Amino acid sequence: EAPASAPHLSVVWSAAPGLLRNLSTDHRAQVEKLMVSRFYKTGEFIFRTGEASDRLVVLQHGSADVLIDLGAEGNIRPTGFRRGALVGEIGFLDGSKRSADVLAAQDVMTLELSSESFERITAEAPGLAILLLKNMALEMGGRLRRSNAVSAQAVMDTATVS
């Protein structure tokens, strides 16, 4: 069963600060017209490994887990997402298939921007597209910095134990 969806619902912009940071009221309105709100029940998949990366997702409410299938060893959960998180941006940008499952850990409400809608923004408002791309890059950069800090701490902890 497909998740519930309703275009143009009241958007809680404070739940999407990363993607929409520093956008004017007019730019926000342009993006809002193209985003769709969807609801996923606890245990439903938002993304599945191998699916087309045809939409960018902002968690408006709830939380989700990233799961990577290790085959016979089961799944690992490398990270999770909470309200305001930008999800699926790498595949959205590079067009690759989804590299992991994203599962609703709680009931989740999302705001979703399709690839087609982003292409429309790019054609009709290239300045807005640049701002959205910059915001996606800032979100990915912040995530990479946090990941690097965790990795560095793990190395330090291992060195201390040895």
Q: Give per-residue pLDDT as tens, 144-162.
A: 777 677 777 778 888 776 5
**Which residue spans within the chain are E strands per DSSP?**
4-7, 35-40, 45-47, 55-61, 64-69, 75-81, 86-87, 101-104, 108-114
pTM: 0.79
Residue type, 124: E
Q: Give me the phi and psi of 74, to 5 degrees please.
A: 95, -150
Higher pLDDT, 140 or 98: 98
